[in-house]
Amino acid sequence: MFAVTAAQTDPDHPLAGLRLGEHPEPKAPDGWTTVTVKAAALNHHDLWTLKGVGIRQERLPIVLGCDAAGLDEDGNEVIVHSVIGSGADETLDPKRSLLSEHYDGTFAERVAVPRRNLVPKPATISFEEAACLPTAWLTAYRMLFDKAGLQPGATVLVQGAGGGVATALVALGRAGGYRVWATSRSEEKRARARELGADQVFEPGARLPERVDAVMETVGQATWAHSLKSLKPGGRIVVSGATSGAVPSADLQRVFFLQLSVIGSTMGTRDQLQRLAVFLEQTGVRPAIDRTLPLAEATAGFAAMHEGDLFGKIVFTA
């Protein structure tokens, strides 16, 4: 079958390790099944794998890709939950992994996954839209509706609008009844964030009209100081990523004096993914898709993500 794999890693030239071509068919052990992939979405996780982050070298070559939507062995339309783990909340399993870490991922014609990781795809959501949900949109859903502890009408600041998680935060936050503000370095991306539902948009580090109830943080070091300064006393930052660096100044005096909370959030559970799909079906909210490419042109998608030339998700069709 055709697949996109990481054959080697290079932190400076990650795309050098990308290979497109034939790969052995997946084998489904007991309790697993095979899904025919119709669409798969690109994440920063895939680029980090090519950089050597979170992957054992002896596991290479490995099929990349965490997210997919397709058909199960009975022809049912399904979404693939990408967290492989056990327990009531698999994201808390210390032995958890994502597809494309220990097991081959979704950038292939077929992928093997645990049966419990399949979620029914609503008929009103396309395969391309559904493929965006398991990582970026599920992460945003958990941040907003589980970790943030907010009531409708609260004000939320989304840092770095443009990436998959950030665009999902804007769209989901608006649909959930929050007042959503967003930042971006790009005037074009600020305008598009408004189209997604942001009430106000700002340049990074800008002085806000008032302090906010919560900040959704995926950028990290470059925006951390602004995130802390933007919070009301008692507010909280929900952080799920650090694309610009992971070791900013903690500014502990501000944290304890204003009684701020810093909440970590990673992915989400299978049940949350199922509720997210229903939420989209009920509200009509849909992922922002930057571009759709055939899997055979995956290199162009990786290059766009590496250069930051995107707004929303990049989707590959098999």
Question: Could you tell me which residues are beta bridge partners of residue 113?
Answer: 33
Q: What is the pLDDT of residues 13-37, one digit of tens each?
A: 999 999 999 999 999 999 999 999 9
Token representation of residue 300: 């162009």
**How many residues comprise the chain?**
318
Evaluate the CA torsion angle 147, 242, 131, 3 in order and state its sign.
negative
Identify whether the C-beta of residue 253 lies closer than 8 Å to the C-beta of residue 193. no
3-class SS at 231? strand
- pTM of structure: 0.95
Backbone angles phi, psi at 91, to 5 degrees: -70, -15
Local confidence band at 245 (pLDDT 50, 70, 90 cut-offs): confident
3-class SS at 97? strand
As a whole number of angstroms, the distance between CA 58 and CA 69 comes to: 28
Confidence at residue 153, expressed as pLDDT on a 0 to 100 scale: 97
Q: Are strands 32-41 and 83-84 parallel, antiparallel or unpaired?
A: unpaired
As a whole number of angstroms, the distance between CA 1 and CA 108 comes to: 7
As a whole number of angstroms, the distance between CA 272 and CA 275 comes to: 5
Indicate whether 261 pLDDT > 90: yes
Q: Are strands 155-158 and 179-183 parallel, antiparallel or unpaired?
A: parallel
Local confidence band at 243 (pLDDT 50, 70, 90 cut-offs): confident
Domains of the chain plus CATH, in order, are 2-132+287-317 (3.90.180.10), 137-264 (3.40.50.720)
Q: What is the pLDDT of residues 162-201, one digit of tens each?
A: 888 999 999 999 999 999 999 999 999 999 999 999 999 9
Indicate whether 94 pLDDT > 90: yes
pLDDT average, residue stretch 50-66: 95
Confidence at residue 229, expressed as pLDDT on a 0 to 100 scale: 97
As a whole number of angstroms, the distance between CA 56 and CA 45 comes to: 14
Closest CA to 31 of 109, 117, 141: 117
Q: Which residue has the higher pLDDT, 224 or 308?
A: 224
